[in-house]
C-alpha cells in the first residue's frame, strides 16, 4: 500500500466504485471488462483490498464520465459525473461567513492556501451533512488556526 492512501480510504473508494457499477447496471465481470481490468483485479479494488491506480481513475472518467474528485473524496454516495458538481452558494456563503467571524473573534489568521483548504473541507463536510455544522467548523478552525 502506498503512503497516499490507507485501508479506510481504499474501502470508501471501493464502495464508490461499487456504486458506479450498480448505477450502470453491470455485473462485476462486465464492469471490469469495460474498464480493461481482470475480474480479480476489479474485485480487489471494489472490496478495498488494493489501492486504485491512476489509470483506473482515468478509465472511470473516459468510460463513465465519473468525477475523479468525487471518487477520491466524495461527498455523498451517489456517483457524480464529471462536470456535474454544483455548488450550493448559500451553504458556501454560510461556511465562509462562519469561518471569517471565528477568525475575527479569536484574532487569528490563516495563510490564503490554508484558509482555502479549510473552506473547502468545511464546505464538503456541510454538504455531506446537509447543513452548516457549526460545531465541526469551529473544531476545524481551532486546530487549523
CB atoms within 10 A of CB 58: 12
The pLDDT, as a whole number, for residue 26 is: 96
Task: Give residue for cell 463536510.
Answer: 125
Band (140; pLDDT cuts 50, 70, 90): very high
Q: Quick: pLDDT tens for 15-30.
A: 999 999 999 999 999 9
CATH superfamily of 7-73: lambda repressor-like DNA-binding domains (1.10.260.40)
Band (87; pLDDT cuts 50, 70, 90): confident
CA distance 10 to 129: 22
CB 18 within 8 A of CB 46: yes
Lowest mean pLDDT among 1-5, 28-32, 95-99: 1-5
For the chain, the structural domain boundaries read 7-73, 89-144
Q: What would the DSSP string read from start to end of 66-92? A: B-HHHHHH-SSSS--BTT-----HHHH
CA distance 7 to 15: 12
Q: Quick: pLDDT tens for 33-82.
A: 999 999 999 999 999 999 999 899 999 999 999 988 888 877 778 888 87
Amino acid at each position: 500500500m502506498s503512503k497516499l492512501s490507507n485501508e479506510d480510504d481504499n474501502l470508501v473508494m471501493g464502495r464508490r466504485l461499487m456504486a458506479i457499477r450498480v448505477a450502470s447496471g453491470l455485473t462485476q465481470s462486465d464492469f471490469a471488462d469495460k474498464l480493461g481490468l481482470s475480474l480479480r483485479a476489479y474485485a480487489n479494488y471494489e472490496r478495498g483490498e488494493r489501492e486504485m491506480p491512476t489509470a483506473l481513475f482515468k478509465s472511470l472518467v473516459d468510460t463513465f464520465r465519473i468525477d475523479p474528485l468525487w471518487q477520491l473524496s466524495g461527498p455523498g454516495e451517489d456517483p457524480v459525473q464529471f462536470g456535474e458538481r454544483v455548488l450550493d452558494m448559500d451553504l458556501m456563503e454560510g461556511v465562509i461567513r462562519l469561518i471569517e467571524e471565528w477568525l475575527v473573534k479569536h484574532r487569528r489568521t490563516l495563510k490564503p492556501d490554508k484558509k482555502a483548504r479549510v473552506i473547502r473541507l468545511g464546505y464538503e463536510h456541510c454538504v455531506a451533512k446537509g447543513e452548516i455544522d457549526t460545531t465541526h467548523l469551529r473544531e476545524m478552525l481551532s486546530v487549523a488556526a
